Structure 1
Amino acid sequence: MTGIRALTLVLEDPSAAAIALRDVAGWSIEADFGSFASLTAPRSIPLWLNAPSDGEEPSRGVVVHMVCEDVDAAFDQAVSRGAAAVREPTDMDFGERSACVRIAAAPGITIDFSRPLE
C-alpha cells in the first residue's frame, strides 16, 4: 500500500517561509538548510519547502488544509501573528467550519484551518 509521505511546496525562500509558518501556525521546524526546510505539526505529515530548481516556477494556487479543534482560535492566533485574513471563520455548506489565511513569505499558498461541524 502507498500513501502520502510528505507535501512539498516550491517557494523562493524556504527558510523565511518555514519561520513564518512556525510563527503563524505553531508548527515545528525540523530542518532548515536555506534552500530546503521541513516542518511538522502534531498528527500530520511533514511539510517540505524547497527552493525552485533552474527554470522551475514556485508553487501557486495551493491550499494547505489543517485540521484543528478550534478554528476561530487558530485563525485569530494566525492573524495576530501576521497572517493576512482571507476568509473569516465560517460554517460551510459542506459541513466544515473553515477559516483561511495567507502569509507573505509563502505567496500563492493559502492556509485553511478547518474541522467537521458537530
Structure 2
Amino acid sequence: MTGIRALTLVLDEPSSIASALRDALGWTIESDVGSFASLTAPGSIPLWINAPAPGDETSRGVVIHMHCDDVDEAFQQAIERGALAVREPVDMDFGERSACVQIPAAPGVTIDFSRPLG
C-alpha cells in the first residue's frame, strides 16, 4: 500500500493563498507558477493549491489538522501573523488540545493545531 503524497486544495488565486499561508503559519513555498502552488510545513506532506478549471467549484469546509508540540504557541503565532481565531486553545473531551484559525485569503479552509493530551 502507498501513503498520501500530497493534499490538493482547489482555490482561487493559488499564489495569494500560498503567500498568506507562508506569512501566517511560517510554511515554505516550494513552487508557485500562478495557477499552482506547493507549500510544506515542517515534517509534513506538501499542500498543493490548484486554481479551479472552468466550471469547477473551489474547496470548501476543509480542515487541515497540524500536529504541534505547543498548541498555544502555534495558535498565538498564527494570530500575530494575521490568521483569524476560530477556536482558542482548549483541552477537548476526546483527549486532544486543539486550537483553530482561518486565513482570510483561503476561505473555507480551517487550520487545526492539535496534540494528544498527556
TM-score normalised over the length of structure 2: 0.98
Shift of 1:42: 1.6
The corresponding residue for 1:77 is 77
What is the CA–CA distance in structure 1 between the aligned matches of 2:97 and 2:49, rounded to whole Å?
Answer: 27
Shift of 1:81: 0.8
- RMSD (Å), alpha carbons: 0.6
The corresponding residue for 2:99 is 99
Q: How many residues align?
A: 118
The corresponding residue for 1:117 is 117
What is the CA–CA distance in structure 2 between the aligned matches of 1:70 and 1:76, rounded to whole Å?
Answer: 10
The corresponding residue for 2:29 is 29
User: Which 5+ residue runs of structure 2 have no aligned equivalent?
Assistant: none
The corresponding residue for 2:63 is 63
Shift of 1:3: 1.3
Q: Does 1:7 align with 2:7?
A: yes
User: Which 5+ residue runs of structure 1 have no aligned equivalent?
Assistant: none
Question: Following superposition, which runs of at least 4 residues in structure 1 exceed 4 angstroms of deviation?
Answer: none
What is the CA–CA distance in structure 1 between the aligned matches of 2:104 and 2:10, rounded to whole Å?
Answer: 14
The CA deviation string for residues 50-104 of structure 1, in whole angstroms up to 9 with x for no partner, is: 0000111110000000011110011011011111100000000111100000011
Three-state SS of the structure 1 residue aligned to 2:18 is helix
The corresponding residue for 2:51 is 51
Amino acid at match of 1:101: V
TM-score normalised over the length of structure 1: 0.98
What is the CA–CA distance in structure 1 between the aligned matches of 2:22 and 2:116, rounded to whole Å?
Answer: 24
- Percent pairwise identity: 75
